[in-house]
Amino acid sequence: MSIYQHFRPEEKDFIDQAVNWIDQVKNSYAPKLSDFLDPRQQEILSSLLGNDSDAKLQFYGGSDFVERKRVLIYPDYYSPEPSDFNISLYDISYPKKFVTLEHRQILGTLMSLGVKREKFGDIIVTEEQIQFIAAEEMDLYLVGNLEKIGSASVTIKRLPIENIIELKENWEEQVTTVSSLRLDSVLSSVLNISRQKTQLLITSGKVKVNFKQTDNVSEECREGDTLSIRGFGRCKLASIDGKTKKDKWRISLGRQK
């Protein structure tokens, strides 16, 4: 039985990479540190490793509440320390009185420096402060190159990881029915807007399934899927609870406010 059948086709490359990491640790009997993984990748890696006694894993991204984390896969003799994860926390100083910076702008600027997304963890934006997490090996490059976000001049300062802003997640449980498990149908019901509008959101690149952008309106949603909709927040499909008498699917989900 193929391991791929439990996952989406587009996840095959990551599965191959993850299996390779696990094999590497078992063969070399030494720990392996990954770049930052999104929650779906963390889930895949955990399920691939299962209860394997020859290798273990630990995730860390700076704090419990962050989404993006590096993983350390290690042999059973090893005891991981937070310092093994090589993570840096930065504070961004900018002219707050005159400028408002958004998550999307900050991420866009970091990407425009020519650095892979996998080298960055979470970006934390509050009214008072902006922080971001990056792989420690990027320190010199970031300090030397990150000088502007949009038209605003910025400076970055490295802080101890204990200074990370703690955000509280606010999820609201919701039960609804949908005519089908197609992405456009599920989003139409969850967001309470027409199917035509959800199709437009999807085809214009504003929707992600499990942190990957999709333009496929008919993609089938599965239990555990995280759906991110720009401008509308995020929801996670907790369970698909069978069909109603009217032949609709009953689904339970968490909606992030």
CATH of 87-163 given 1.10.8.50, 3.30.70.330, 2.70.70.10, 3.90.45.10: 3.30.70.330
What's residue 85's pLDDT?
A: 97
Contact 142, 222 (CB under 8 A): no
* C-alpha to C-alpha distance for 52 and 43, rounded to whole angstroms: 15
Higher pLDDT, 65 or 45: 45
pTM of the model as a whole: 0.82
What's residue 53's pLDDT?
A: 83
Confidence label for 127 from pLDDT (cuts 50, 70 and 90):
confident
152-206: per-residue pLDDT in tens? 999 999 999 999 998 777 778 889 999 999 999 999 998 999 999 999 999 999 9
* C-alpha to C-alpha distance for 196 and 122, rounded to whole angstroms: 33
**Mean predicted lDDT score pLDDT of the chain:** 92
What's residue 10's pLDDT?
A: 87
What's residue 185's pLDDT?
A: 94
Confidence label for 19 from pLDDT (cuts 50, 70 and 90):
very high
Confidence label for 257 from pLDDT (cuts 50, 70 and 90):
low
Average pLDDT over residues 86-97: 94
What's residue 97's pLDDT?
A: 85
Contact 73, 59 (CB under 8 A): no
User: Is CATH 3.10.290.10 what the domain over 171-256 is classified as, yes or no?
Assistant: yes
Q: Percentage of residues in the chain with pLDDT exceeding 90? A: 73
Q: Which two tokens stand for residue 158?
A: 């490295």
Higher pLDDT, 45 or 96: 45
50-75: per-residue pLDDT in tens? 878 889 999 999 998 899 999 999 99
What's residue 1's pLDDT?
A: 55
Helices (H), 56-179: 103-112, 139-145
Confidence label for 112 from pLDDT (cuts 50, 70 and 90):
very high
Average pLDDT over residues 82-92: 95
Domain ranges of the chain: 87-163, 171-256
